[in-house]
């Protein structure tokens, strides 16, 4: 493969001048610059990006940590981030942590080894105290998940309020026995904590009773939702409404109900979370909380690029975006 030496030889221009052209250094006259560029083209010479990085250039690469790309919430978020990144000539390393703390730390190592300029945490598995040291190697911005302990920028909706509103909707429609689902419990995030607080606050304001067996942990997929419905079928004291925390879980519950004696929404009212595309296509239409996925992804990436370009500080700012309660049939 062609080297700087070859370019120098073909163009008849010194290696140091060729190097200045490659690095867009000023003080090279136009005629020499064009002769060098011509020689580079003829030889098919491309500067080695690893060499450029050693000289302090940036990787123009951002690591985006999510738990699983097959969740439409995350693919939508990544898509929006990617849109902004490519507009500015950046690319994304996709970091599917699959809920593993170990894998999350391995991806954070990309900052240490200078393979990325910054990290966006759209899922969090570790405690903040284990993540914080990585800030010594580059900026970290959080999106969707969050914790009060951090001093980094975060983009999110108010999960306490959204959940509270969903439960009040059930109560206004006469539901009295309301079940609750949550995903895995990322110890480094307050998102799940806030949803749970909103849920129990609404219940207690209306003096509603709760059964332990109506609390479903570690449910996040369509399959998990089917499992939830199967467990409800076997209960002596069945809930008459369920907050699923996820459109996928909600769709699993609805799909499984069609194979059971439980009718949605007559016997069991269901509220999802996210407003994924299919929520409006399904019959019955899914009542859900619409997250501003595109806006959240775009604003997070924009902020990250501004930090990298020294237009913004890496500080503990919070941006709370607006969610929307979407009332359909369930």
Question: Candidates 16-24, 95-103, 139-147, 192-200 — which segment interacts with a copy of itself by CB under 8 A?
Answer: 95-103
Residues forming a β-bridge with 178:
241
Q: Is 158 exposed, middle or buried (0-12, 13-18, 19+ CB in 10 A)?
A: middle
Stretch in the footprint of a copy of itself (CB under 8 A) among 40-48, 152-160, 170-178, 202-210? 40-48
Phi-psi region of 44 (alpha: psi -120 to 50; beta: other; left: phi over 0): left
- Residue 230's Cα: distance from chain center in Å? 30
Nearer to a copy of itself, 211 or 277 (CB): 277
CB of 241 within 8 A of CB of 212? no
Question: Which CB sits closer to a copy of itself, 245 or 252?
Answer: 252
Q: Which of 19, 96, 127, 165 binds a copy of itself (CB under 8 A)?
A: 96
Residue closest to 273 by CA, chosen among 145, 177, 159: 159
Q: Does 281 bind a copy of itself (CB under 8 A)?
A: yes
Candidates 2, 43, 93, 105; binder of a copy of itself (CB under 8 A) is 93
Strands 269-271 and 241-243: parallel
Residue 82 in contact with a copy of itself, rule: CB under 8 A: yes
Helix/strand/coil for 285: coil
Using CB under 8 A as the binding rule, whether residue 302 contacts a copy of itself is answered as no
Tell me how far apart the alpha carbons of residues 48 and 58 are, in angstroms, rounded to a whole number.
Answer: 13
Site residues, a copy of itself (CB under 8 A):
44, 46-51, 53-54, 59, 61, 68-70, 72, 75-76, 78-79, 82, 86, 91-96, 103, 107, 109-110, 112-115, 136, 222, 251-252, 254-255, 258, 277-278, 280-283
């Amino acid at each position: 493969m062609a080297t700087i030496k070859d370019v120098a030889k073909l163009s008849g221009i010194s290696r140091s001048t060729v190097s200045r052209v490659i690095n867009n250094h000023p003080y090279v006259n136009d005629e020499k610059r064009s002769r060098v560029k011509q020689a580079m083209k003829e030889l098919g010479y491309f500067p080695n990006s690893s060499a450029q990085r050693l000289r302090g250039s940036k990787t123009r690469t951002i690591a985006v940590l999510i738990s699983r790309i097959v969740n439409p919430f995350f693919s939508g978020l990544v898509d929006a981030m990617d849109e902004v990144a490519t507009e500015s000539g950046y690319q994304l390393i996709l970091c599917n942590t699959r809920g593993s703390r170990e894998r999350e730390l391995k991806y954070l190592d990309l900052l240490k080894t200078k393979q990325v300029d910054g990290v966006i945490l759209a899922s969090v598995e570790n405690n903040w105290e284990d993540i914080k040291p990585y800030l010594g190697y580059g900026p970290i911005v959080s999106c969707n998940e969050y914790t009060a302990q951090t001093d980094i920028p975060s983009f999110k909706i108010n999960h306490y309020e959204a959940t509270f509103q969903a439960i009040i909707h059930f109560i206004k429609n006469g539901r009295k026995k309301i079940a609750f689902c949550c995903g895995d419990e990322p110890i480094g995030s307050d998102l799940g904590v806030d949803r749970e607080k909103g849920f129990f606050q609404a219940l207690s304001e209306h003096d509603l009773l709760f059964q332990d067996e109506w609390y479903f942990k570690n449910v996040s997929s369509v399959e998990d939702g089917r499992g939830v419905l199967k467990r409800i079928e076997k209960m002596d004291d069945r809930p008459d409404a369920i907050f699923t925390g996820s459109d996928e879980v909600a769709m699993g519950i609805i799909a499984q109900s069609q194979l059971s004696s439980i009718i949605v929404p007559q016997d069991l009212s269901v509220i999802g979370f996210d407003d994924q595309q299919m929520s409006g296509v399904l019959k019955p239409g899914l009542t859900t909380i619409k997250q501003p996925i595109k806006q959240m992804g775009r604003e997070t990436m924009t902020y990250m690029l501004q930090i990298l370009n020294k237009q913004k500080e890496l500080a503990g700012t919070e941006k709370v975006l607006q969610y929307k309660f979407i009332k359909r049939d369930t």
